[in-house]
Homo-oligomer: A and B are copies of this chain.
Amino acid sequence: MSAARDQMAVVLHRPQKLVNIAGVVRAMKNMGLRRLRLVQPAEYDPYDIAGIAHRSDDLLAATQIFDTLDDALADCVYVVGTSARPHTLLRRLTPRAAAPDLLARAAHGPVALLFGPEDNGLTNADLDRCHALLQIPTDPGYASLNLAQAVLLVAYELWMAGDPPPPAAPAQPPASAAQLERLFATAEEALWAVEFFKAHLAEGMLRTLRSLAHRAEPSAREAALLTAICMETINYLRRTGRQ
């Protein structure tokens, strides 16, 4: 839970399709946003949405419906609109650049992330309510994102700004140099045993195996398994009377 993220309100102005609202709900749940506000939705039925966006009852129970955009924005301390439309007066930021600032502003109250209707986006009158514009980077030849995808990308950047990426999985204890040397010695013995060096130069081959193992950075357990493969090859040959 992030107090700052909880202050982010996704405001959908005149969304037209229920399936898109459901997609927005899912994207919000994925990225830890909780506040959804709808202004004059053309279709809205929490039950139908919950059928598409599973396990979203908490978010839907808290969703607010408004008659006007001004009502929906009334308590917000900052409003950013998402638009590809030019509006020369407003600052234009990528979601990545804006995210830390948006989260910081949430200390003062709700911050609105405003998205327009699917077909035409926000009007100039809507943009007049905005402090700044978010412009999501895309291929300029194919810039049209659907509503849920635009919300997802903005919410993702807020999530990334609020939480550092997960640390790499705790590694298993690495093989020691001594364990690796034991592996290399056993491998060499096994390769002689199967007469591999009749056809290949030992020195270059062994160097290649060493560099492969060092790049793979085997754990102690993995080095032991590789050594066992070599040992058991040798043992098999002995057992079957070949050596």
User: Is the pair B159, A156 in contact by a Cβ cutoff of 8 Å?
Assistant: no
A120-153 interface bits toward B, Cβ cutoff 8 Å, 1 = contact, 0 = none: 0000000000000001011100111110110011
Q: Tell me which of A142, A144, A168 has the highest count of chain B C-beta atoms within 10 A of its own C-beta.
A: A142
Assuming the A-B contacts A32-B139, A138-B159, A152-B149, are A94 and B225 also in contact, with contact meaning beta carbons closer than 8 angstroms in the complex? no
Q: Is A218 an interface residue when CB atoms closer than 8 A count as contact? A: yes
Instruction: Tell me which of B26, B159, B233 contacts A146 (CB under 8 A).
Output: B26
> Contact between A55 and B91 (Cβ–Cβ < 8 Å)?
no
Q: Are A236 and B195 in contact (CB under 8 A)?
A: yes
Please tell me if A61 contacts chain B, counting CB pairs below 8 Å.
no
Sorting the interface of chain A by its residue count into under 10, 10 to 19, 20 to 34 or 35 or more gives: 35 or more
Please, which residues of chain B bring their CB within 8 A of the CB of A240? 242
CB distance from A132 to the nearest CB of B (A): 11
Interface positions, chain A 23-37, Cβ under 8 Å from B, are: 26-27, 29-32
CB-based nearest B residue for A231: B196
Q: Is the pair B212, A218 in contact by a Cβ cutoff of 8 Å?
A: yes
Contact of A215 (CB < 8 Å), options: B142, B152, B194, B217: B217
B residues less than 8 Å from A55 (CB atoms): 142
Q: Does A216 contact B (CB under 8 A)?
A: yes
Distance between Cα atoms of A159 and B169 in the complex (Å): 26
Q: In the complex, are the beta carbons of B149 and A137 less than 8 A apart?
A: no
Question: Which residue from B137, B166, B225 sits with its C-beta under 8 Å from A159?
Answer: B137
> Which are the 7 A-B pairs with shortest beta-carbon distances?
A216-B216, A32-B139, A29-B142, A194-B236, A215-B216, A94-B165, A212-B216
Question: Measuring CB to CB, which residues of chain A are less than 8 angstroms from any residue of chain B?
Answer: 26-27, 29-32, 55, 88, 91-92, 94, 96-97, 135, 137-139, 142-146, 148-149, 152-153, 156, 159-160, 163, 165-166, 168-169, 172, 191, 194-196, 199-200, 205, 208, 212-213, 215-218, 222, 225-226, 228-229, 232-233, 236-237, 240, 242
Selected A-B contacts with CB under 8 Å, 22 pairs: A26-B146, A29-B139, A29-B142, A30-B139, A30-B144, A32-B138, A92-B169, A94-B166, A96-B160, A96-B165, A97-B165, A135-B166, A137-B163, A149-B149, A194-B236, A195-B232, A196-B232, A199-B232, A205-B225, A212-B226, A215-B216, A233-B233
